[in-house]
Structure 1
Amino acid sequence: MPVVSVKPIVLTAPHRGRHLHVKVSAPADGAELPIILFSHGYGSSLDGYGPLTDHWAANGFVVIQPTHLDSRTVALPPDDPRTPEIWRLRVDDLRLVLDRLDELEAAVPGLAGRIDRRRIAAAGHSFGGQTAGNLLGLRVLPPAGAGEDLSDPRVSAGVLLATAGKGGADLSPYAAEHFPFMNPSFATMTTPALVVAGDKDDSPLSVRGPEWLADPYALSPGEKSLLTLFGAEHSLGGIAGYEVRETTDEDPERVALIQRVTLAYLRHALGMDDAGWAAVRADLAGAGNRLGRLESKHG
């Protein structure tokens, strides 16, 4: 399906000291289009994650990508007073996008009147997974946060890709010192979500190994699914961009699987179609698939 993309769309945002730059990609045709709000990983920008965002837009979703203040394109100095609050400002960015959907819709030629505001999902990779998770009910505990509820009822599903697990004693000494916001609680993350984790994603931020990235699934209540990718590292085969240097485990077949599973999940979770989700669950149940395993829970 042909896609129209517009960037940057500039949303005034005096509270963050720099206006928010946003990219919107949407199918050229179709009505009642659902929305995916995507939060990039640390250092990336609205230009990242084409292998996922392009695929979602070409298959009927309006994909909205803000550039957060930690982006390399912003080049915020480490001693900037906003740095300790970047985790929270990221959440504010996503809320601002939801508050200003009318402006974003008007900025894309031919999109007016075609968005379905009843169907909104939040997705993110790495740091962006925690950011999206806040809208699903994840809470950041002290020292960086106060455990407050930052969830948003406008968001009814999520996709969390290579997202950090528990903090505290599970963090490496470096992470505990430099990333105090990495202390999430998943106990109130009740919004349905798909968690995607690589079984070779041995993060230097945790002392626990790859199973740490499954915490958003294991430690959250409600309807959740976990896609475990065999052999995948933090870039999950190359989702961060086409030919990006960060990809250490390039695998087009793995990326194609993530495209298929996330699309099917989002269509299922947003009440659009269950057939695709039933098919991927059948394909990935148990240990029979060489690329990955899919499991689900309801409580």
Structure 2
Amino acid sequence: MPQSNTANAQKSAGAPALVISAKPVVLPAPDRGEDLQIRVSAPATGSDLPVIVFSHGFGWSMNGYAPLADFWAAHGFVVLQPTHLDSRTLALPADDPRTPRIWRFRIEDLKRVLDGLDLLEASVPGLGGRLDRSRIAVAGHSWGAQTASTLLGARVLDSDGVPGEDMSDPRVKAGVLLALTGLGDDLTPFAAEHFPFMKPSFGDMTTPALIVAGDHDQSHLSTRGPDWFTDPYTYSPGSKSLLTLFGAEHSLGGIPGYEVAETTDESPARVALIQQLTSAFLRSALYPEDTAWKAAATALEEDPDPLGRLQSK
């Protein structure tokens, strides 16, 4: 994207707002074994605020992904970050009986957040009555992207290759899927044995989504190269967009946090591009009259940025 177009996209997003953040906001979850802890971030002012429910990657928690959560909240979204059972902060032992079903608990966590919006809103001082429940999106990174994708219509194949339960949620109007793994046919033997749920079908993932992949993201879970992460775009029905980031590895430049060990490809410029484009996409998906995404997408498709290219269908 030329510099002038980047500047226009930033200007259209408006000046960053003062952000309030509260944690842990707790939702009772007696069937889970641990109550669900959530971080809530929101602009300090404004009403009818759209909602993003964000699912973290393996081992992370509500405390991660500040580059995204803080940016989205500063630009008008309420961001809800649950801590899943695989979080290092919970130290669940590998032989815990819940471990084989953690992927299901993760999906249930996101739905529990949506079911608990009234309690979450009431638990944060100054947030009451300010959420717009008609404008909800989900987002996630890595395993979190897989978790979020099920609410958009992705399904897990059973041992016979038949799509399993439909866990999509009509309350969710859009999604951002960051470094979402691809088809299960390409799993390594280790991944196939230990992560049998990583066999998705994207054929029913019909909710609009922006998929973000790095062209240097070489996963030890797949026998393929970085193009594995483009499968969600290739094999899902429209409307979808694919942002391919040049030189990006699995952390996509550092979205999990600033100067964290998992970031092997630190790039503030790449993170800034993700911030701007995800915000513009979500606002356009939730507010069809908003033109910022169309302008940014057209510019990036016609004149690829040194940081990446965009495709849409």
| Range class of TM-score, shorter chain | over 0.9
Aligned counterpart, 2:154 = 138
Match of 1:284 among 291, 300, 312: 300
1:247 to 263, 274, 292: 263
1:5 equivalent in alignment to 2:21: yes
Structure 1 position 109, deviation (Å): 1.0
Contact 2:304–2:310 (Cα < 8 Å) also in 1? no
Q: SS state of the match for residue 86, structure 1?
A: helix
Q: Secondary structure at the match of 2:170?
A: coil
Q: Does 1:192 align with 2:208?
A: yes
> How far apart are residue 281 of structure 1 and its match?
1.1
CA–CA distance in 2 between the matches of 1:3 and 1:108?
13
In 1, Cα distance between the equivalents of 2:289 and 2:22?
28
- Report the counterpart of residue 175 of structure 2 in structure 1: 158
Question: What residue in structure 1 maps to residue 248 of structure 2?
Answer: 232
Aligned partner of 1:207: which letter? T
Task: Go from structure 1 to structure 2 and tell me whether the alpha carbon gap of 1:247 and 1:145 turns closer, same or farther (over 3 Å shift).
Answer: farther
Asked if the contact 1:38–1:64 (Cα under 8 Å) also holds between the matched residues in 2, the reply is: yes
Equivalent residue number for residue 97 of structure 2: 81
| TM-score normalised per structure 2 | 0.92
Task: Give the 3 Å change call, closer, same or farther, for CA 146–74 of structure 1 in structure 2.
Answer: farther
Q: SS state of the match for residue 112, structure 2?
A: helix
CA distance in 2, matches of 1:122, 1:136: 8
2:287 alignment counterpart: 271
Aligned residues of 2:153 and 2:205 also touching (Cα < 8 A): yes
Residues 150 and 288 from structure 1, CA distance in 2 versus in 1: closer, same or farther, beyond 3 angstroms? Answer: closer
Distance 2:290 2:247 in 1: 28
Q: Bigger relative contact order, structure 1 or 2, given CA contacts below 8 A and separation 6+? A: 2
- Say which is worse superposed, 207-216 or 138-147, in terms of deviation: 138-147
Tell me which residue corresponds to 2:14.
none
Residue aligning to 1:167: 184
Please name the residue that 1:104 is paired with.
120
CA contact (8 A) 1:233 1:248 kept: yes
Structure 2, unpaired ranges of 5+: 1-16
Counterpart Cα distance in 1 of 2:256 and 2:129: 31
Quote the Cα distance in structure 2 between the aligned partners of 1:105 and 1:288: 41
Q: Is residue 237 of structure 2 the alignment partner of residue 221 of structure 1? A: yes
Tell me what 1:90 maps to.
106
Measure how far apart 1:279 and its partner are. 2.4
Task: Quote how far apart the aligned CAs of 1:273 are.
Answer: 4.7
* Kept after mapping to 2: 8 A contact 1:267/1:273: no
In structure 2, which of residues 27, 33, 53 is the aligned counterpart of residue 17 of structure 1? Answer: 33
SS at match of 1:56: helix
Q: Runs of 4 or more off by more than 2 Å in structure 1? A: 143-146, 272-275
Equivalent-residue separation in structure 2 for 1:6 and 1:84 (angstroms): 31
One-letter code of the match for 2:66? G
Whole-angstrom CA distance in 2 between matches of 1:142 and 1:265: 33
> Using the alignment, how far apart are the partners of 2:47 and 2:288 within structure 1?
13
Cα distance change on mapping 1:69 and 1:145 into 2, 3 Å: farther
Map Cα deviations across residues 112-142 of structure 1 (whole Å, 9 max, x no partner). 1110000000000000001000100010112
Amino acid at match of 2:113: V
Equivalent AA in structure 1 for residue 190 of structure 2? Y
Question: Secondary structure, in 3 states, of the residue corresponding to 1:226?
Answer: strand
Partners of 1:286 and 1:293 within 8 A in 2: no
- 3-state DSSP class of the match of 1:208? coil
Cα drift, residue 278 of structure 1: 2.0
SS in structure 2 of the partner of residue 16 of structure 1: coil
Q: Distance in 1 between matches of 2:304 and 2:133?
A: 38
Asked if structure 2 preserves the Cα contact closer than 8 Å seen for 1:145 and 1:181, the reply is: no
- Cα deviation 1:244-295 (Å, max 9, x = unaligned): 1100000000000000000000001112553211222133115632110011
Structure 1: give runs of 5+ residues left out of the alignment: none
Aligned length: 296
Q: Pairwise CA RMSD of aligned residues?
A: 1.3
> Aligned equivalents of 2:303 and 2:215: distance in 1?
14
